[in-house]
Amino acid sequence: MKEREEKNSGRKKKVRKKSRTTEFSITIVLCCLVAVLTVKGISLQQKVNANASRLSSLDSQIEEEKQRTDDITALKEYMQTDEYIEKTAREKLGMVKDNEILFKESQSK
């Protein structure tokens, strides 16, 4: 009987050592996983922040381009008016209306 008990207690010690080693190994693996996930999470958060600032910048560029498009459209409409044609003819071509008198300033030194 004593021999069996001694053998069983020896087996129990071996099982306990294996159990502790296994638990320690699992704990280390879990700690490594947590560390890796934490690092990846931080990295992804930085990417999210960078993309958010980029998105904000792109939104402001879109607004600027919309304003520019509106300005171009307004200029296009203005260029089709008689007022613009008359102004251009006067300034660039030196044309005048019928019965209009022009006075030039003399250059005095």
Going residue by residue through the chain (109 aa), what tens digit of pLDDT does each one get?
555 655 566 666 666 777 888 999 999 999 999 999 999 999 999 999 999 999 999 999 999 999 999 999 999 999 999 999 988 988 888 788 877 777 777 776 5
**21, 29 contact by CB (below 8 A):** no
Instruction: State the greatest distance between any 2 C-alpha atoms of the chain, in Å, as a whole number.
Output: 139
**Structural domain of 47:** 2-93
Question: Is 0.75 surpassed by the pTM of this model?
Answer: no
Residue 26 maps to a domain? yes
For the chain, the helix, strand and coil percentages under 3-state DSSP, each to the nearest 5? 85, 0, 15
- 89: tokens are 């003819």
Instruction: Tell me if 11 is assigned to some domain.
Output: yes
The tally of domains found in the chain comes to 1
The rounded radius of gyration (Å) of the Cα atoms in the chain is 43
Q: Please indicate, yes or no, if residue 100 is contained in any of the structural domains.
A: no
71 lies in some domain? yes
Instruction: Please say whether the beta carbons of 102 and 96 come within 8 A.
Output: yes
